[in-house]
Chain A
Amino acid sequence: MIRTTLLLSLASAGCAGAPPSATTTKPTAPGVDTRVAAETTAAPSSAAPTRLSRRLHAHAMTEVVLDAHGRGALTLDDHGGLRLWPDVQADDVALPVALPEQEPSWMSLGRIDDTAFVVATIDTTGTARVSRITIDGRGASRVALFELPAVDPQFEIHVLDGGARILALGKDHRVRLFDADGRVLSQIDERGFIPWQLRVVETPGKPVALAAVLTQPVRAQALALDGDTLRVVGEGRMVALDQSPNRNDLSLSPDGTTIAALRRTSAKKREFALQLITLATGERRVIMGNIDEKARPRLHYVDDDRVLLESGSGKGFWIDLAQALPRDAPSFPPAAMRTVALPGGAGDLRMQATLVAGMRAVATDTTLTIDPVATAEHRVLRRTPFDATAITLDAGGTKVAWSRGTSVWIEDLDDDDAAPVPFDVAAPVRALAFGEDGQLRVVTPAGASIVDATGTVIGTTDAAPVAAPAKPDTTGLRLRGREAMAAVAAPTGSLLAVALSHGPTLRADRRPVLAALGMFDAATQERLWAAPLGNTAMLAWSGDGLRIATLDGAGLRIADARTGAAVHTRADLGLVVEAAKD
């Protein structure tokens, strides 16, 4: 019989309310303080909240995790950036909160209420960080709750609904339940008990459904959480898979009673087999059928009676589990399935789809698809990248304008951070410039117009442009061996902006190919500052030569030309929410 252990870290009366000391003292020489880097580190009680900004991902999204209600979401991008979306189902979806954690290999979100969340992440060395995020009128704030350090690495961590309890599976195969302060409430730590994965399914208002995946051989083991007590329930059930255990092929029903094991009968066929194993009794039932693709489908265990298979063709296949037959049935006729459209999961993207509380989500590139499977509609949350074909600053560098295609934007840097709304000039824009009157000139094939801030044409002007200035001489600059790729002098001639190469021996690793923008004093030829620059970039000087704008893959950046300090940045043109039919 496997014992389970209920543990409580008892706070003594003298320190009630304070996080428990998490260090262990080992005896050494007298007078020497000896500690062990603790297993659990509760954040100092004086930890002050840190303010967080709200902004979209600057890079392609790759993964999404939903809270138990299917409303809050965490998204990850391919540069390791993490965002918290408080409510993807809201009528007015707000910009996500930019979380500080980078490159998590695991993430989990628990909802306390509409303005408070608990986020748990695991980094690449197994360090788990748990924090509380609070949304307020000014943005958001973060308070660190506790951390499981790299010397106590974790495979998984799950914030249970409500954010008061956190379940973790360690690389030492211990299963532990923590409270929000990092106190261990309960653990399963048994010899020979080697869980490698957990299955955690939450239906708000109902008990948490738990199971562990054991190996050697592969088995599904029911677990239970009674109050704050973890325990193993019954015996592990053998599972036959056609590939190693994974979260697609082995899914737990929302009520925690059944494991669904997906297999493909042949790599060359569209046939699948789904075995349903009742964990309490070991009873096994089978459903077989055919979908429209040969690739392994994404399996969603939507509710206790139905699964949804996502084939990657854009279609989903609902299967009523009542059709399942005993394993020893003489034959298995193809299951009846209802076909629906599933947006956003084409091809391999199907394996990035997650479905919680009836809400399906897929994150890819600039798009987050939110698809309630009970309806034939979905919404797409799309980041509009900053992409321009022309850019210009006014004389004092307080207004910037850019264009793309036939659209023009004007942004007053003294205004708030809201992205300006573009206006259309009905023709491809060839050039932009602010005149001395502060009004924008827009040059199209039809001629040059003078427009106000709303895009209203208030006049015309000659379209003849000033000849491009001669390329500045960079030979005297102190480049110290770097190569000047291109250079643009300030209108006053006092400064020189030079795009510099990085040289051949310091290589990037799947990061944007970068050069550097160097600013040089034209008189002394000394470099004043340098900043990263994308491999395709646009530069624009203000008329007075005091500010410079750069536009590359990272977005728009307007800097003080002498110091390089950023005056204004914009990574994208905002969030667009589109409703669509499936």
Chain B
Amino acid sequence: MPRWICLFALSLGPSALVHADAGAPASPPSSAPRTGAHTGGTVVVTPRGLLVAERHAGVVVRADAQGNPTARLELGGELGEIVADGRGRAFVADRAGDRIVELDDGETLIEGRNVAVVEPFGLALSPDGGTLLATSVAEHALVAIGTDDLRERWRIELAAEPRGVAISADGGEAVVGFLSRGALAIVDLDDRDHHVRWQSLDPRDQLVVVEDEFGEGGSFVDVREAPSRFRVPQGAGRRYARNAFAVGYLGDQAITTYQLATPQLVHEPKVEDIDSYGGADVDTPPVIHRLSWIARAGEAEAHHGSADLDLHQPRALAYDAGTDTLYVGGYGDDRVVAIADASTEVPWVPWSVKLERKDPACGIDGMVVDGTTLRVHCELTRRLVSLPLDHGEHDDRKIAKLSRRGPELAASRRSALVERGAEIFRRANDGRLSEGGTLACATCHPEGRADGLTWRLGAHVLQTPMLAGRIVGTAPYKWDGQDATLRDSLRHTIDRLGGTSGFVGRDEIGALAAYVASLPAPKAPRAQDAGALARGRAVFEDKALGCASCHGGAALTDGAQYPLKSNLEQTDTPSLVGLAHSAPYYHDGSADSIRGLLTDRGSIHDMAELGALSEAQLDDLGVYLASL
């Protein structure tokens, strides 16, 4: 009798995930992927407990298993990440102080040696602990420091707005994420020249808004192949990865979380959507959030998988090698998502919980796995939340109830009003602030900076302006200066986001205004050529050329509007503070770089008579502008 081999067709409902060609089957990695000790964050585990970098308090705190502070070290200003070698040493990025500080994690926390790095942020230690990598926000660089003598070994200039950095388990490469670029930088650490490869995160396919064809009203969004090259090239529907704060490695795969923005959902918005971000309605959110994992990142043979995340503004990652589970934390909505089988081809989500349901909002900016507990750091409340991981539960609500909130670790240096504004600024899921709560201020303005995108707003596409350092003394606001005051501008923006500013209280607007006004100006990169800097300044201040006549004063703007030949009726003089970090330029982003702006490659041609300048003068002027 023949043995009938069972065959059947499985018809499974829609479920999830993503991928390129199926590869190896799923099984826990043979080599344990990295945990949190060598990759920086705001909280790390050490033999003596937890070390926390309270960024806005300027304090490093050691906490016990209950989240109670047991030691502290005042460093003064704003901090970046902290990383520990697991053997009693830690390093913290003193972002405001332009240095990296070595800490002796002994009985007491002691400040040790330090090394100068302009505006350090992300930190990572090599597997042998001998090299510390740091991202320099101001100088767009990755800096390598020997931990034995704390001297700089090498640096490489990458691109604007670098943040997180991680090193692969074998120490052979590092990955760097950026706020305003849809790519990761993969730096070869074994190569003498530290060759850089770039890994794209932007997808090729696009969003298409499909109008209802059956007269039932409404529209929906479909993801479709990019149009043929013989069609009119359009920005509408293209998607861009931004705000890759958190990066890491799972085995050999680089991982990162980010947002995927569609700044121009439609080419010509409907009249009712005329002033909305992206140009479409609530059912088509212009931003989603993603996790990507990439094998052989940056190579032509890269294998890139990605998945949508059900949280807002992912900024924290933590990995449990024992269970192969990755945890992602949302800064905007205080949600933690667990991803099981994380290093395999079939990751999945066993649970997703929201912290701080009834308590003050958290603002997750760091996480670490500490044995069988997940430690979550709340930037806004400056405390740790502990979530047990060995609960065996599958009900999200029950899991959320297991979390325990620790006490405040440090007092904020910011006023209560500014703190409140910071919370509102990052807040997602508030239908008053944006349509459906899909956008937060921090979506386009991470850390009050800019995402480098041009957004469809009615008849125009407008560049996201940088806020940090460009608020005080720069009224009026918006590219055409239509908003006389900051509060007017905030309300107008909320309405543009599809929110209802009328339901946002004056005190909340006041808090937001206080927060954006408090943001420190971006630090400029150090000019390498003092002579070029001086010559460039002379060109800038040359009355015949006239740059300083409009872009003068402390805020580098005269606050006036001019009828330049553009698609704006009038153009408000923008502040040039932090110019090196805010590419592209002009109201429509048409000049891709400072060089492009100076060589008349943008859409504005009647701003200044740059044609009379020599190439050398243009170079010098570019050096000066980057120093602002």
Contact = CB atoms under 8 A, between A and B. Distances in A.
Interface in B21-60: 21-22, 24-27
Given A144-B300, A514-B17, A538 B27 contact: no
Interface string A158-196: 000000000000011100000000000000001110100
B5 A149 contact: no
Contact of A529 (B26, B340, B348): B26
A485 B12 contact: yes
A256 B347 CA distance: 54
Interface stretch (B152-160, B314-322, B378-386, B409-417): B152-160
Nearest to A189: B599
B217 interface: no
A243 B232 contact: yes
Nearest to B339: A506
A530 B198 CA distance: 31
Contact of B185 (A33, A37, A104): A37
Given A34-B154, A485-B10, A537-B10, A216 B202 contact: no
B4 A466 contact: yes
Residue among A80, A104, A149 having the largest count of chain B Cβ atoms under 10 Å:
A149
B15 A502 contact: yes
A503 B230 CA distance: 40
B155 A32 contact: yes
A453 interface: no
Query: How would you classify the secondary structure of chain A's contact residues: helix, strand, loop or mixed?
Result: loop
A33 B595 contact: no
Contact of A172 (B9, B225, B601, B603): B601
B14 A513 contact: yes
Interface stretch (B120-128, B304-312, B435-443, B470-478): B304-312
Contacts of A41: 195-196
A538 B9 contact: yes
Contacts of B10: 485-486, 499, 515, 533, 535-539
Interface stretch (A286-294, A370-378, A433-441): A433-441
A429 to B, nearest CB: 11
A37 B350 contact: no
Given A23-B193, A100-B301, A505 B349 contact: yes
Interface stretch (A6-14, A86-94, A124-132, A313-321): A124-132
B196 A149 contact: yes
Contact of B16 (A26, A435, A485, A503): A503
Contacts of B518: none
B595 A172 contact: yes
Nearest to A391: B7
A499 B232 contact: no
B600 interface: yes
Interface in A233-262: 243-248
| Range for the number of chain B residues in contact with chain A | 35 or more
A63 interface: yes
B223 interface: yes
B25 A244 contact: no
Given A246-B233, A298-B230, A392 B25 contact: no
A480 B17 contact: no
Contacts of B300: 99-101, 129, 131, 142, 144
A435 B2 CA distance: 5
B3 A491 contact: yes
Nearest to A497: B6
A37 B158 contact: yes
A150 B197 CA distance: 9
Interface residues of A, number: 126
Nearest to B182: A125
Given A480-B340, A480-B350, A540-B5, A102 B20 contact: yes
Nearest to B303: A102
Interface string A30-73: 00111111000100100000100000001000110000000000
Interface in A352-406: 352-354, 390-393, 395
Contacts of A499: 10, 12
Given A461-B2, A514-B17, A536-B12, A172 B596 contact: yes
Residue among A29, A150, A503 having the largest count of chain B Cβ atoms under 10 Å:
A150
Contacts of B307: 506-509
B11 A508 contact: no
Nearest to B395: A481
Contacts of A474: none
A541 interface: yes
A137 interface: no
A21 to B, nearest CB: 8
Interface stretch (A198-206, A268-276, A322-330, A558-566): A558-566
Residue among A50, A351, A514, A543 having the largest count of chain B Cβ atoms under 10 Å:
A514
A15 to B, nearest CB: 14
B19 interface: yes
Contacts of B156: 34-37
Contacts of A480: 340, 350, 394
Interface in A269-314: 298
Given A505-B337, A510-B205, A514-B346, A351 B27 contact: no
A99 B25 CA distance: 23
A567 to B, nearest CB: 12
A194 B339 contact: no
B5 A393 contact: yes
Contacts of A129: 300
B351 interface: yes
A538 B9 CA distance: 5
Contacts of B225: 62, 78
A17 interface: no
Nearest to A431: B4
Given A23-B193, A435-B2, A506-B307, A501 B18 contact: no
A500 B397 CA distance: 23
A475 interface: no
A83 to B, nearest CB: 13
B179 to A, nearest CB: 14
Contacts of A298: 230
Contacts of A216: 603
A124 B22 CA distance: 23
Contacts of B345: 530-532
Contacts of B22: 531-532, 554, 557
Contacts of A501: 12-13, 15
Contact of B301 (A50, A124, A509, A529): A50
A547 to B, nearest CB: 11
Contacts of A582: none
B391 to A, nearest CB: 12
Contact of B344 (A434, A502, A530): A530
B214 interface: no
Given A58-B21, A536-B11, A509 B195 contact: no
A564 B16 CA distance: 21
B302 interface: yes
A302 to B, nearest CB: 15
B334 to A, nearest CB: 16
A477 interface: no
Contact of A535 (B2, B12, B159): B12
A106 B7 CA distance: 43
B543 interface: no
A465 interface: yes
Given A28-B155, A514-B346, A539-B6, 19 more contacts: A244-B232, A298-B230, A351-B228, A393-B5, A465-B4, A482-B348, A506-B309, A507-B308, A508-B308, A510-B224, A511-B18, A515-B12, A530-B26, A530-B345, A531-B345, A537-B10, A538-B9, A538-B10, A566-B25
24 contacts: A21-B193, A28-B152, A44-B195, A100-B299, A124-B182, A127-B183, A131-B300, A144-B300, A151-B158, A192-B599, A192-B605, A247-B229, A247-B230, A441-B2, A462-B1, A466-B4, A502-B349, A503-B15, A508-B15, A511-B18, A530-B25, A530-B27, A530-B344, A539-B10
Shortest 8 CB-CB contacts between residues of A and residues of B: A564-B25, A150-B198, A502-B16, A502-B15, A481-B394, A510-B223, A124-B202, A516-B346
